[in-house]
A and B are shown apart, each in its own frame.
Chain A
Amino acid sequence: MGLLDIKNVSKRFGGLKALSDVNLSIAEGTVHAIIGPNGAGKSTLLNVLVGKLIPDTGSVMFDGQSVLGRAPHEINQMGISRVFQTPEIFGDLSVLENVLIPCFARRDGPFRMHAFETVTNETEMVEMAEQMLGDVHMLEKRKMQASALSRGDKRRLEMAMCLVQQPKLLLLDEPTAGMARADTNNTIDLLKEIKATRPITMAIIEHDMHVVFSLAERITVLAQGTPLVEDIPAKIKGHPKVMEAYLGTAEV
């Protein structure tokens, strides 16, 4: 039994079978990548994982509890944090506040009417957030407005916002999509650093092979809505089935 268990999940959109009978298990402490060509069902699977889509059949269990049909905030409170394709941050707020919000969310739960406390007096929270910003090398930018950050810094900030919650599972949805090579490498280094310093499970949905092979400990290849192969990176490289899925077969 893994941290996240996907069992017999199928999802149809009209006549299109987006996912058919997907079985996947992500073990605790691993970096698990889910790759596949366009239209393989990666985003559908992700949307199922975060409760946005309810599959026709099957179950998704996280840490012994079903995630199906839950609201985003409930899923997060279960211990799943999510990094988006384009960084989702609070643009109008300062960098420090961006990290403070997840700190409060973790301490106080989905809602608390803390209208008579003062943010700056919550030293424990502020310290925690500043520590985190230090970890991602952004402490000196803590007073900046988040929307003024560079794209790479926004990505860092978003990671910090997720990590400060100490999630059991970090979901990364194409974290390097649309990035320049240098930014991609920076993100890879950051993720490696994170992985080295704390025990965390990561699920990366990605189609940049460079990213996948430099990070993942286990890879699942998805094609036409079903997992094709699951193995360690070394064995995925050059696997005939994977080549076939990505390049198509010459003879049909």
Chain B
Amino acid sequence: MFGLTKKDTLLLIVVAILTMAAPFLLNPFPSGSAMAQFNAGYPDLMQRFVIYGLFAIGFNLLFGLTGYLSFGHAAFLGVGSYSAVWMFKLLSMNVIPAIILSVIVAALFSLLIGFISLRRSGIYFSILTLAFAQMSFNLAYSVLTPITNGETGLQITLDDPRILGVSRTESGGIPVTNLFGAEMRSTYEMHVGSWLFQFNTGYYLCAVLMLLGFYLSIRIFRSPFGMMLRAVKSNQNRLRYTGLNTKPYTLAAFVISGMYAGLAGGLLACMDPLAGAERMQWTASGEVVLMTILGGAGTLLGPVLGAGFIKYFENIFSKINDTILHQWFSALPDGLEDAMVFLVHPFIGKGWSLTLGITFMLVVIFLPGGLIEGGQRIGRLFRRRTAKPAPDSAPSSTPAE
């Protein structure tokens, strides 16, 4: 189906079902129960899952396939957000023109940066992209203030022209982002017993676009173009002597992944019409690198998993405080309880970055293939236990699912 093999179609369908049913799946605990803090099924967080998933899918098309490690992808996320907000200011609050412009601007911007940066490879490429992103970040804070509104960030106001829309609503407020009238922020709440499920328009828009992006990424992975990109990572010299020009291939991959980043940035602005320069900072570029590696670079599903993993635990860990810890360990004897709380304390709340850094290091050291590789190893362990120990079959090189 859709020009995919059976296996890939199945993967796409499973991912589609999971994202569509996310409001149910992510809210397994009744609201008000002690476990409710582990719920993730509220609009704001679910939007972040799919938007950052999209960002990571795009980053993976560059890093996972060609091996070029860009440390400046946040710049494209940032310009995507700025373009979208400008569309809201000038044209209308409809998200379609905003999304289109953010992708186009990110494409042009990544074409320029890619054209220059791709003249070098390896660490030099990483540093060039980093330099470009930092430059954009610094400029956004200083001279470009008329466009970016500097430190405050770009916001929509009552005085914006909005040629195709209205500057202010009838009640005098700022209009909200919408898709032909369907407001992004509108949420349908469903109460089932003590459970609360929230279905948010914005989330479903992002989810559909994420699925589209995921589908395209499968197509690219399985295409001759994707094969060439993997060949770039494997042996550029041989590729050149096979009659292929590596530059347009890498540039195309760079621009495509820049467009994904622009789309993600545009969507962030659609959900919350605000764009700040910190979105372009290199720590933000680092975050997408973390997501991709954590999930499994070069795999189809890895980046989405990584993005979900990081955003979920970021949210959970930040919420846990000492009181909650004391509840958890209350079964232990007093002294031990305090000791456990003391030990765990640095890793929760504001310590989330510490936990993330340690997890990331452990993954790079012990599990270079990320969560996907971890899953495969566990799977193999089970198979070996159930079946008789069979000699390892010849390694196959089809990219992992």
Is chain B a partner of chain A in the same complex? yes
Is the beta-carbon distance between A73 and B244 smaller than 8 angstroms? yes
Once bound together, how far apart are the Cα atoms of A199 and B233, in whole Å? 34
Once bound together, how far apart are the Cα atoms of A106 and B220, in whole Å? 21
Q: Is A43 an interface residue (CB 8 A)?
A: no
Report chain B residues within 8 Å CB of A161: 238, 242
Is the beta-carbon distance between A104 and B241 smaller than 8 angstroms? no
Is the beta-carbon distance between A93 and B234 smaller than 8 angstroms? yes
Once bound together, how far apart are the Cα atoms of A73 and B224, in whole Å? 18
Chain A to chain B contacts (Cβ below 8 Å), 8 pairs: A90-B230, A92-B233, A97-B231, A102-B242, A110-B248, A111-B244, A115-B225, A119-B223
Report chain B residues within 8 Å CB of A72: 240-241
Name the distance in Å between B201's Cβ and chain A's nearest Cβ.
30
Given contacts A94-B397, A111-B248, contact A73 B240 (CB under 8 A): yes
Once bound together, how far apart are the Cα atoms of A81 and B226, in whole Å? 23
Given contacts A111-B244, A113-B252, A144-B394, contact A90 B238 (CB under 8 A): yes
Instruction: Digitize B216-232: 1 where CB-to-A-CB distance is under 8 Å, 0 elsewhere.
Output: 00011011111110110
Is the beta-carbon distance between A100 and B245 smaller than 8 angstroms? no
Q: Is A89 an interface residue (CB 8 A)?
A: yes
Report chain B residues within 8 Å CB of A110: 243-245, 248
Once bound together, how far apart are the Cα atoms of A81 and B238, in whole Å? 10
| B interface residues, how many (CB within 8 angstroms) | 35
Once bound together, how far apart are the Cα atoms of A114 and B224, in whole Å? 6
Once bound together, how far apart are the Cα atoms of A73 and B239, in whole Å? 8
Name the distance in Å between A97's Cβ and chain B's nearest Cβ.
6
Interface residues of A in 95-119 (CB under 8 A from B): 97, 100-102, 104-106, 108-119
Report chain A residues within 8 Å CB of B145: none
Q: Is A88 an interface residue (CB 8 A)?
A: yes
Once bound together, how far apart are the Cα atoms of A88 and B226, in whole Å? 20
Given contacts A88-B241, A118-B3, contact A97 B397 (CB under 8 A): yes
Of B224, B233, B237, B395, most buried by chain A (CB within 10 Å of CB) is B224
Main secondary structure of the interface of B (DSSP, over half): helix
Is the beta-carbon distance between A92 and B397 smaller than 8 angstroms? yes
Q: Is B396 an interface residue (CB 8 A)?
A: yes
Q: Is A35 an interface residue (CB 8 A)?
A: no
Once bound together, how far apart are the Cα atoms of A106 and B244, in whole Å? 9
Given contacts A101-B228, A105-B242, A111-B248, contact A119 B235 (CB under 8 A): no
Task: Return the contact of B227 from the options A82, A101, A121 (Cβ within 8 A).
Answer: A101
Is the beta-carbon distance between A118 and B223 smaller than 8 angstroms? yes
Name the distance in Å between B210's Cβ and chain A's nearest Cβ.
19
- Across the A-B interface, give the 4 residue pairs with the lowest CB-CB distance, nearest first: A76-B243, A110-B245, A72-B240, A145-B397
Is the beta-carbon distance between A143 and B394 smaller than 8 angstroms? yes
Instruction: Digitize A122-162: 1 where CB-to-B-CB distance is under 8 Å, 0 elsewhere.
Output: 10000000000000000001011110100000000000010
Task: Return the contact of A115 from the options B220, B245, B398 (Cβ within 8 A).
Answer: B220
Q: Is A2 an interface residue (CB 8 A)?
A: no
Is the beta-carbon distance between B234 and A119 smaller than 8 angstroms? no
Once bound together, how far apart are the Cα atoms of A188 and B45, in whole Å? 64
Report chain A residues within 8 Å CB of B243: 73, 76-77, 102, 105-106, 109-110, 165
Name the distance in Å between B393's Cβ and chain A's nearest Cβ.
10
Extra pairs beyond A104-B227, A165-B242 (17, CB < 8 Å)? A73-B243, A73-B244, A76-B243, A88-B237, A90-B230, A90-B231, A92-B234, A101-B227, A101-B231, A111-B248, A115-B223, A116-B3, A116-B219, A116-B223, A118-B4, A120-B5, A145-B397
Q: Is A234 an interface residue (CB 8 A)?
A: no
Once bound together, how far apart are the Cα atoms of A211 and B240, in whole Å? 28
Report chain A residues within 8 Å CB of B246: 73
Is the beta-carbon distance between B245 and A76 smaller than 8 angstroms? no
Report chain A residues within 8 Å CB of B242: 73, 76, 81, 101-102, 105, 161, 165
